[in-house]
């Protein structure tokens, strides 16, 4: 088993973010100052590879893996994800594996949290919240 297969076999099935609840938005706003500063540093560091503001490295990693999982029309069968993930860049596989090893579910949660923070900022700026 090569390195790509090893990392890929440990990446969970990811789903696109389709619903942001009010609880998600509230959670993004009710974090402590230290957490918000760390997310800001993370999102700033993420600019070096993506040039998309306010997306953390974890969410960018998850999105890259998600693109490889859903590269076909519709989703492949659940037992094919490891094979599909192998085509993902090694940096995404290694980082995704590390994040999921330390905090299971981290990749999916990162996409959800980044989307909630973006929606919270939108509501703040247009006066919806």
Residues comprising the chain, all counted: 129
Task: Read off the pLDDT of residues 28-69 as tens digits, 9 standing for 90 and up.
Answer: 878 888 988 998 898 888 888 777 788 999 999 999 999 888
Least-confidence region, from 17-26, 34-43, 58-67, 119-128:
119-128
Q: Which of 40, 51, 50, 54 lies closest to 91, judged by CA?
A: 50
Asked if 32 contacts 60 with a C-beta cutoff of 8 angstroms, the reply is no
Across the chain, mean pLDDT equals 84
Query: Torsions phi, psi of 126, nearest 5?
Result: -95, 0
Asked if 106 contacts 100 with a C-beta cutoff of 8 angstroms, the reply is yes
Q: What is the mean pLDDT of residues 17-31?
A: 88
CB atoms closer than 10 angstroms to residue 7: 22
d(C-alpha 23, C-alpha 103), whole Å: 21
- Look up the pTM and report it: 0.83
Share of the chain above pLDDT 70, in %: 85
Strands (E), 20-128: none
Question: Which DSSP helix (H) or strand (E) runs through 80?
Answer: none
Predicted local confidence at residue 17, as pLDDT: 93
**Cα-atom radius of gyration of the chain, to the nearest Å?**
16
Predicted local confidence at residue 79, as pLDDT: 45
Asked if 87 contacts 68 with a C-beta cutoff of 8 angstroms, the reply is yes
Q: How far is CA 67 from CA 31, 38, 125, in A?
A: 29, 26, 30
């Amino acid at each position: 088993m090569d390195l790509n297969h090893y990392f890929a076999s440990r990446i969970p099935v990811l789903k696109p973010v389709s619903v942001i609840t009010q609880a998600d938005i509230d959670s993004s706003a009710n974090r402590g100052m230290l957490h918000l500063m760390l997310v800001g540093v993370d999102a700033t560091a993420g600019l070096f590879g993506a040039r998309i503001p306010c997306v953390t490295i974890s969410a960018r990693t998850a999105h890259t893996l998600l693109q490889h999982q859903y590269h076909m029309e519709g989703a492949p069968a659940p037992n094919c994800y490891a094979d599909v993930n192998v085509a993902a860049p090694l940096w995404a596989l290694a980082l995704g594996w590390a994040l999921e090893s330390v905090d299971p579910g981290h990749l999916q949660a990162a996409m959800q949290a980044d989307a909630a923070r973006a929606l919270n900022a939108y509501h703040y700026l247009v006066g919806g919240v």
